[in-house]
Structure 1
Amino acid sequence: MKRIALFLITNLAVMLVLSVVASLLGVNRYLTANGLNFGALLAFCAIFGFGGSIISLLMSKWVAKRSVGAQVITEPRNSAEMWLLQTVERQARAAGIGMPEVAVYDAPEPNAFATGANKNAALVAVSTGLMRSMNQDEVEAVLGHEISHIANGDMVTLTLIQGVVNTFVMFLARVIGYFVDSMLSGRNQNESRSSIGFGYYITVFVLEIVFGILASMIVAWFSRQREFRADRGGAHLAGKRKMISALQKLGGAAASTLPPQQMAFGIAGGVKEWFSTPPPIEKRIAALQAATG
């Protein structure tokens, strides 16, 4: 859950920064100099939209580590950390990916997440609450779930989806902003514009935030579908009984306190269902129980 929430917040911040930079460079004035050029505007939004999501993906591991204070295990300090490294290494080998970095972060709730732009150089992090509240079989299943996210390329898939969403968020915000500014200035919508007013900039800024938040619902929906697949992957790597037991344990845990942008690819939930990235625990357990093979 945590992975996507961090990704979404980083993406929104990056997009707002790119939007401001584009305005300062005069891109908006160029696109509206001879009336609204829809083709050029769409191309501009696609470049910046996908660029923003790719930048967010490349930053995901760095942001994740610092947002929760995750400590990467380089030299195991105890038997629990040694077991974590060995389990992740075994599961990564079975899933056909490179060995991820393994980290532990201090948090009371049981949770874990995986992130990274490259499936062969990813990060798997678990909370101290997870290690305390679950037995090794259940932790193994949670690790298998996160390894499956990496092997399935979920971060890259969601980055592409986010790129499409960003494109339309920027496009619609600017189209509406242009028409709002036209009405405020009293000019014809097709009239040549040597400059655009504050109505355009204010409308675009506000709508990018509003549309960006609403668009997160779309990304969250896609993320929920990937959770079922990661659960099946965890069951394959650790065993269905262990995966179901881990989900049952998570179902009785307190709501996650992970930072908003990391919520999306953590194992545990805790947000309203429309914005939540993991589906309800009971649905995930039912899907696993119904699965064959």
Structure 2
Amino acid sequence: MMRILLFLGTNLAVIVVASITLRLLGVEGYLTEQGMNFNALLIFCFIFGMAGSMVSLFISKWMAKRSTGTVIIESPSNSTEKWLVDTVAELARDAGIKTPEVGIFPAQQSNAFATGWNKDDALVAVSAGLLNRMRPEEVRAVLAHEIGHVANGDMVTLALIQGVLNTFVMFFARVVAHLVDGFLKSRSDGEGGLGFMGYFAVVIVAEIVFGVIASAIVAWFSRFREYRADSAGAHLAGSGAMINALARLKAETEMPDQMPDTLRAMAITKGQTRSLMERLFASHPPLDDRIRALKEAAYRQ
């Protein structure tokens, strides 16, 4: 829900910039005396629906470092850091990608994340708590899971899906407002209508409704890619180690989550989900389901 509120909060600023950008691109406004220009509206929504998503993708590493306090290992200062860098390099080589930057962030909960705008310019970071409490083979499995995210191109795909959904949220919200305005005018012989403030109020309400639906779609894809990353982790580090790592994470789900909201979708765990609504909008499947999926895949082999 916070993502939706932030999206709406920036909407006014987007509208101000929109007309200037569209004129530079030779596109007229989407509201004309003849009615709504749907082609211009779609271009308008695509530009500004994708813009925020792409900007977030390109600055994702910088944001991750700042928001988590991640310290990049430029030159290993101890055996643990050397092992961490060497392990990531080995897993990246096995996955066929360029070695990501490696970092450690100061959180007591066992956690890890991967981010970056493409698979050859990524960041993989683990928490200090994970290094302190997990066995080396379990840490390796967590790292393999994150390398799986990078190799699968999950960051780019998630950004593209978010951008497309933003486009359609903006598009259909304005179509709904236009239809409501036309309906009110038809009932008052063209004298009524929403007016500017009424039109914008309907747009906001419609964006909230469509934004909730879009959030559920993004969450579904996020859950799907967690299963794929678990499978990649099992392939790179072994099914037993991946299952044990997830079981260890499950035991720690009651600890306070110190991951920023903007990075939880990229972390290996967000804890357990219980209610139907939590499951619908959760970025991660329940750990029990992930462990079960790995066991079933291992059994089929």
Give your verdict on TM over 0.5: yes
Letter in 2 for 1:126: V
SS in 1 for 2:165: helix
Partner of 2:265: 264
Distance 1:90 1:210 in 2: 46
User: Residues 141 and 239 of structure 1 are in contact (CA less than 8 Å); yes or no, is this contact kept in structure 2?
Assistant: yes
SS in 2 for 1:103: strand
Partner of 2:296: 290
Distance 2:231 2:146 in 1: 11
**CA apart distance, 1:99:** 0.9
Distance 1:92 1:24 in 2: 41
Partner of 2:250: 251
SS in 1 for 2:265: coil
Note the 1:158-197 alignment, pairs <5 A.
158-180=158-180, 186=185, 197=196
State whether structure 2 residue 80 is matched by structure 1 residue 80. Answer: yes
Structure with max Cα Rg: 2
2:285 to 265, 273, 279: 279
Percent identical residues = 50
User: Residues 173 and 203 of structure 2 are in contact (CA less than 8 Å); yes or no, is this contact kept in structure 1?
Assistant: yes
SS in 2 for 1:264: helix
**CA apart distance, 1:234:** 0.6
User: Residues 145 and 233 of structure 2 are in contact (CA less than 8 Å); yes or no, is this contact kept in structure 1?
Assistant: yes
Q: CA RMSD in A?
A: 2.9
User: Residues 180 and 199 of structure 1 are in contact (CA less than 8 Å); yes or no, is this contact kept in structure 2?
Assistant: no
Q: Write out per-residue CA displacement over residues 50-104 of structure 1, whole angstroms, 9 at most, x where no aligned residue.
A: 2332222112111111111111111212211111101001100110101101111
State whether structure 2 residue 224 is matched by structure 1 residue 218. Answer: no
**Structure 1 portions without partners, runs of 5+:** none
- Structure 1 residues 90 and 53: CA distance shift in structure 2, 3 A: same
State whether structure 2 residue 39 is matched by structure 1 residue 33. Answer: no
**If the length of structure 2 is used for normalisation, what is the TM-score?**
0.84
Letter in 1 for 2:99: M
Q: Write out per-residue CA displacement over residues 198-240 of structure 1, whole angstroms, 9 at most, x where no aligned residue.
A: 2223333454355334422211101111111111111111111
SS in 2 for 1:118: coil
User: Residues 31 and 37 of structure 1 are in contact (CA less than 8 Å); yes or no, is this contact kept in structure 2?
Assistant: yes
Letter in 2 for 1:176: V
**CA apart distance, 1:187:** 7.5
Distance 1:203 1:125 in 2: 43
Distance 2:262 2:138 in 1: 25
More displaced 10-residue stretch of structure 1: 259-268 or 85-94: 259-268
Number of corresponding residues:
283
Distance 1:93 1:25 in 2: 44
